[in-house]
Structure 1
Amino acid sequence: MQDQVEIALAELFARQLRMRGVPLVEHDETFSSPAELLPAQAGTVGWQAWQRPEPGDFDNVAHALEMPVHADISALFGHYYAGNIEACFKGLFLTLLQPWNEQDFERLQQNQIAHQLMMKKLKLAASWFLATCKDDQKLVTLNNATGEVQLERLGKGSIGVLAPNLATFLQQLEPC
């Protein structure tokens, strides 16, 4: 499934570019990314997904948590540096997270560890966050055991399955 996730993510970046043009983000000289293009206007910069020469993985996270990490997580977060993607999934508006640079990738890993520790403390099934929602009490997550993409209420666990797997979820996302 990992290759399918990488392909679906690349197709999502291409759809975003085709449908919305070059996305803009606030420019921060102290937090640059190889995904940055030329500045678009004062204080902003365009970006285009930049494929990492050596993909990152979550082996260190698996080791730290002493648990396996679903391979789709490395496929989603380890292959590109990019801006977050504003998207819609069947009426659900969300922000698909992406690491901006290596420092952001490491911070994402630390936040995933914290999420897992919270899930464990609450005795909830292991999941990895993928996207935030307009309702800040909800997250889009990947179930670590099944690979299903689910909608989760913070502190309560899964409240429904959105897609049977991450590749399918990415294929159905519409940039907005």
Structure 2
Amino acid sequence: MSDQVVSALSAFFERWLRYQSSRLLPLRVALDPDWVSPCLHGPVVDGQQCWRPTLRQAPGSMANLESALNTRFHPAVAAFYGHWFSQPLQASFKGLSLTLLQPWNEADYERLQENLLAHWLMQRRLKLPESHFLATTRRDDRVISLDNLSGAVQLEQLGVGCVAVLATDLATFLNRLEPLVAPVPGEVGD
């Protein structure tokens, strides 16, 4: 299952890059010397640098979180978050606009783990089934998440739980994602 998730995520990155390229949109971010990433490449122009999703040299692990929580995470979680560095990516799933989350660098991966931990603990406190967020939606109270037991991808209302199952597994969900245009740096909503 983990290999299928990594392959599906890699294929989505390729589709997303082709989509952006077909619109002649350069992928640039404002350069922050304190927040560098393996994703950055090419020269700095007007304080911005090109970027692209980049495969990590060594996969990240979720073992530290599993140990802290004395539980096992669904293997799709480590496959999804542990193999790439990237900016968040705009996408659509059957008309639902979303922003797929990925860590930008190793420090961001650690911060992401802290947020996953907080989400997990809040769900335990509310006696909701444990899940892992994967993407945000336009609604602040809804996220796309992975059910830890079944591995199903779901639309989750924060504080309430699953409101709809979107796909039976993460690889299927990723394979059905459609790329959307990346925001242009400096535009409203950026």
- TM-score normalised to structure 1 length: 0.96
Counterparts of 1:24 and 1:173 in 2: how far apart (Å)? 22
In the alignment, which residue of structure 2 is the partner of 1:173?
177
In the alignment, which residue of structure 2 is the partner of 1:108?
112
Q: How does 1:23-172 map to 2 (within 5 A)?
A: 23-38=27-42, 41-172=45-176
Corresponding residue pairs, total: 176
Runs of 4+ displaced beyond 4 Å: none
Question: What secondary structure sits across from 1:130 in the alignment?
Answer: strand
Does the CA-based 8 Å contact 1:24-1:40 persist in structure 2?
Answer: no
Percent identity, please: 46
Query: In the TM superposition, what whole-angstrom CA distance separates every residue of 1:138-172 from its partner, at most 9, and x where no partner exists?
Result: 00000000000000001111001001100000001
- CA distance 1:132–1:43, change in 2 (3 Å): farther
Does the CA-based 8 Å contact 1:147-1:164 persist in structure 2?
Answer: yes
Counterparts of 2:47 and 2:135 in 1: how far apart (Å)? 25
What stretches of structure 1 of length at least 5 have no aligned partner?
Answer: none
Task: State the 1:64 CA deviation.
Answer: 0.7
Write the letter of the residue equivalent to 2:129: A
CA RMSD of aligned residues (A): 1.2
Higher Cα Rg, which structure: 2
- TM-score normalised to structure 2 length: 0.89
Question: What secondary structure sits across from 2:76 in the alignment?
Answer: helix
